[in-house]
Amino acid sequence: MATHTTKSHPFHMVDPSPWPIVATIAAFTIATGGIWFMHGGPPWILIAGFAVLIVSFFGWWRDVVNEAQSGHNHTSVVQHGLRVGVLLFIASEVMFFFAFFWAYFNASVPLINSAAHTTWPPEGITPFHAWGLPFLNTLILLTSGATVTVAHHAVRLNDREKMVFWIGATAVLGFLFLGLQAFEYHHAAFGLTGGIYPSTFFLATGFHGFHVFVGAAFLTVCFFRARAGHFTPNQHVGFEAAAWYWHFVDVVWLFLFVCIYWWGSAGYHGPAGH
Amino acid sequence: MAYATTAGHGEHDDHHPTGWRRWIYSTNHKDIGTMYIILSLVAALIGGVMSWMIRLELAEPGIQFFDNTQFYNVLVTAHGFLMVFFVVMPAMIGGFGNWFVPLMIGAPDMAFPRMNNISFWLTAAGLTLLVSSAFVGEGPGTGWTVYPPLSSIAYHPGAAVDFGILALHLAGAGSILGAINLIVTVFNMRAPGMTLHRMPLFVWAILVTAFLLLLALPVLAGALTMLLTDRNFGTSFYAVSGGGDPLLWQHLFWFFGHPEVYIIILPAFGIISQIISTFSKKPVFGYLGMAYAMCAIGFVGFIVWAHHMYTSGIGTNARAYFTVATMIIAVPTGIKIFSWLATMWGGSIDFKAPMMFALGFLWLFVIGGVTGVVLANAGIDFVMHDTYYVVAHFHYVMAIAAIFAMFGAYYYWIGKMSGRQYSERLAQIQFWIFFIGVNVLFFPQHFLGLGGMPRRIPDYPDAFAGWNMVSSVGAAITMVGTLMFYYIIWHTFRYGKTAEANPWGEGATTLEWTVPSPAPFHTHEELPVIGAGDHGHGPLHGGVQPAE
């Protein structure tokens, strides 16, 4: 590769790449395999699609990391563009959750929908006690928001040992949250097919849980990149993206906790008929 | 000029891939834009043939061809999806947006060239799934609005609706990524001096469109996901039996769906502004008003969704609010119409094919806009809802208006894209055939709707026979105009004269006309500098020039 002295602009002209088409083939396989599976077929095509998707993620982002490490592709202007891109992506994610919150309030608030349930949770639903496990999970996520900020300070001070530790701690807290959520799901007093309450509960908290998984995986990648010395005080877009994503996941959880776990269980007065 | 010569050394900037990898692995905004346009041309043929089949069925009362009326429903559904998601959006945003946003703001490419590629391929995968859905089981006969309970597992037990859902998921993901790409490109990659208030109006239009995509499509994704789990995993979001609410779908769908119609028409606004300014040889009248009118339309587009649901049982207060809010849209829209007229006023107008299509756009859009104000009234809509009046309205205001903008854009920019100029005589003939065709096709549908003819039904009482026959004759004329367009594309590439860098003369002042035709593989590698007083529409002389 020749020098880059002839380039007179600060932008990154990316080489042709096989990963977009590979990832699309994976997505197409997941879609068709998923449909087949939902209509009684075997799961193998779906699983194969996910496998190819993971391979393409790995290949694509390995390329991005290599480009970032090359030293001249990710100029400060390119870094700025990447940050704006991450913020826009998070904005679209907010609107995705907006749909599930809409479904939830549409079912539970008669003030905005005359067909909503007048008692919430609906008859026959025993909700979780908000100040038990859900509150513990709230504390875990809030703590992880603090630890990722400590890590950010360490990145800016170029303190590698400290940043590795605190990024790792944040990821561990994320996975701990997921473990507790799995435990909670396992002990739910209602099943997915039990009507509108479980529908909104499992889809909203489930998609949040999936986003926690994505964020924790992202932080895990950052953990290894931090150990490899990829993050400098002037260039750490990957970590910043993970941190912003993590804060987004955290804020969504606060809304879930307040609206679904806390307010959503306030109307519960013991088992029906007692 | 610097553009043609700077490529050739340096690092991977100038890497000019060849063979199939150039296209499949592309990270070039022009190649990806071209692929988007080809995809749109293919989808337009499929969707066009479907509409042709619909009009053949409706030419006379009684059932002509579709003994299986579900198949008629499937055609109506697929026609709508194809035209909205796989013809207009790929051509306007993916095609012309990709090609000309970087060229017009003086950027060497898009912000995320590799993500640009996956946006296209996801759209292609979505198209494949959508076309497949028509051939799976009973097909999706739900209309493009996919309302439950018709779309529920009880009434569409096969996999067809699931194919449709996942087609929209894939295409939607591609569009969201494309929207992020376009916004970052506009915010981060403008050439020195190209301030937001100097950007060409096409770039403004694409910017506002991209924000609508970014914020509206995820809501559709959520709604579709809930429909998918209702159908396949036993949830009850839209099922009354489980305490759910079918109206929830309508709210979520139209919260996306109304911004969606602006996603379709805003890029057309941008194209029309460029064309009218170029061929009137005047800067656009009220440039800032035009830009912020689009912002206003985009914003208000998010708070009027339930005017699609007046007959769904929403409350009286809600209907009053949505009537008023909807009518407010006429204000910024009026700003645009009158500014276009004022741009032409006193101009030295050159009636080349792009200008003819821009004028055709104005005619169609004003008619469709006026019937839109009629339908905005909840009281009137109560009677007109689900009649052919609505079909006439939205085909005028967004469907054929958008198609006219796309034809105009093709004739306006094909010289820049291909290096060959279209045949002016053929294009003029195609304009008149198409213009007469669509008006004969859709204008009588107002009368049919006022007479009470319901939409989405393959049969109708004899009383509606006359205007239906006229409408179908219009469809035949339109089909001739459509096929002629494909012929003109072939003719352009086969016999087209070599295009100059700027074939339009002094009226064409935006940056894409400063690079050679066809535009080289890489452009603006030396960033141009935009002078003060030039807002992408001002006189070029001295204003826009390549940097040292």
Note the pLDDT of residue A269.
82
Looking at the DSSP assignment, which residues form a beta bridge with residue B498? B420
pLDDT value at position B534?
57
Q: Of B117, B95, B97, which is closest to residue B105 (Cα–Cα)?
A: B97
pLDDT of residue B16: 78
CA distance B230 to A131: 30
Q: Which whole-number Å values give the CA distances from B232 to B142, B151, B225, B227, B380, in the listed order?
A: 17, 12, 10, 9, 39
User: CA B35, B36, B38, B43: dihedral to nearest 10 degrees?
Assistant: 140
CA-wise closest residue to B239 among B159, B153, B143: B153
Q: Tell me what pLDDT residue B15 has.
A: 62
The residue among A37, A9, A82 whose CA lies nearest residue B14 is A9
Distance CA B266, CA B260 (A): 10
Tell me the nearest-neighbour CA distance from A153 into chain B, angstroms: 27
Nearest-neighbour CA in chain A from B342: distance (Å): 36
Instruction: Determine the Cα–Cα distance for residues A102 and B251; give it in Å rounded to an integer.
Output: 9
From the list B108, B163, B234, the residue facing A35 with the nearest CB is B163
Contact yes or no for B214 and A88 at CB 8 A: yes
Instruction: Identify the H or E element spanning B497.
Output: strand B497-498
Instruction: Determine contact, residues B297/B398, Cβ cutoff 8 Å.
Output: no
Asked if B25 and A38 come within 8 Å (Cβ–Cβ), the reply is: no
Per-residue pLDDT tens digits for B208-235: 999 999 999 999 999 999 999 999 999 9
Nearest to B125 among A28, A116, A194 (CB): A28
pLDDT per position as a tens digit, B416-435: 999 999 999 999 999 999 99
Chain A residue whose CA is closest to B5 = A6
Strand B420-421 relative to strand B544-546: parallel, antiparallel, unpaired?
Answer: unpaired
Degrees to nearest 5, angle at CA A27 with A25 and A33: 95
Mean pLDDT of B503-516: 95
CA distance A161 to chain B (A): 33
Optimal mutation site among B209, B245, B321, interface A, most CBs of chain A within 10 A: B245
The pLDDT of residue B538 = 46
A95 and B215: CB-CB below 8 Å? yes
Q: Identify the pLDDT of residue B10.
A: 39
Instruction: Dump the DSSP string for A38-75.
Output: HTT--SHHHHHHHHHHHHHHHHHHHHHHHHHHTSSSS-
Residue B543 confidence (pLDDT): 36
Distance from CA of A29 to the nearest CA of B (A): 10
For B150-194, write each residue's pLDDT tens digit.
999 999 999 999 999 999 999 999 999 999 999 999 999 999 999
Q: Say whether pLDDT at B545 is over 50.
A: no
Domains of chain A: 17-73 (1.10.287.70), 76-265 (1.20.120.80)
Distance from CA of A122 to the nearest CA of B (A): 9
ipTM for the predicted complex comes to 0.95
Contact B183 A88 (CB under 8 A): yes
Which residues on B lie below 8 Å from A95 (Cβ)? 214-219, 222
Amino acid at B254: W
- With CB atoms and an 8 Å threshold, state whether B125 touches A200: no
Can you give the pLDDT at residue B129? 98
Q: How far apart are CA B522 and CA B2, in angstroms?
A: 11
pLDDT by 10-residue block (mean), chain A, 274 residues: 63 96 98 97 97 97 96 94 98 98 97 90 94 97 98 97 98 98 97 97 98 98 97 96 98 98 91 54
Please report the pLDDT score of residue B98 as a whole number: 98
* Low-confidence winner among A215-219, B127-131, B522-526 (lowest mean pLDDT): B522-526
What burial class does residue B530 get, using C-beta atoms within 10 Å of its C-beta: 0-12 exposed, 13-18 middle, 19+ buried? buried
All residues at 6 or more sequence positions from A113 whose CB lies less than 8 Å from its CB, including other chains: A105, A106, A107, B245, B247
Residue B332 clears pLDDT 90, i.e. is over it: yes
CA A224-A230-A231 angle, 5° bins = 105
Q: Are B389 and B442 in contact (CB under 8 A)?
A: no
Residue B175: what pLDDT? 98
Residue pLDDT, tens place only, B456-507: 999 999 999 999 999 999 999 999 999 999 999 999 999 999 999 999 999 9
Residue B163: CB partners within 8 Å, gap ≥ 6? A35, B129, B130, B132, B133, B136, B140
State chain A's maximal CA–CA distance in angstroms.
Answer: 81
Residue B158: its chain A contacts at CB < 8 A? Answer: 39
For chain B, the C-alpha Rg in angstroms (whole number) is 23
Q: Do A7 and B11 touch (CB under 8 A)?
A: yes
Q: Of the candidates B111, B121, B242, which has its C-beta nearest A195's C-beta? A: B242
Instruction: Determine the pLDDT at residue A7.
Output: 77
Q: What is the percent of chain B with per-residue pLDDT over 90, rounded to a whole number? A: 92
Chain B residue with minimal CA distance to A87?
Answer: B180
- The structure tokens 């800032």 sit at B288
Question: At residue B282, what are phi and psi to the nearest 5 degrees?
Answer: -140, 150
Query: Are the beta carbons of A99 and B25 separated by less than 8 Å?
Result: no
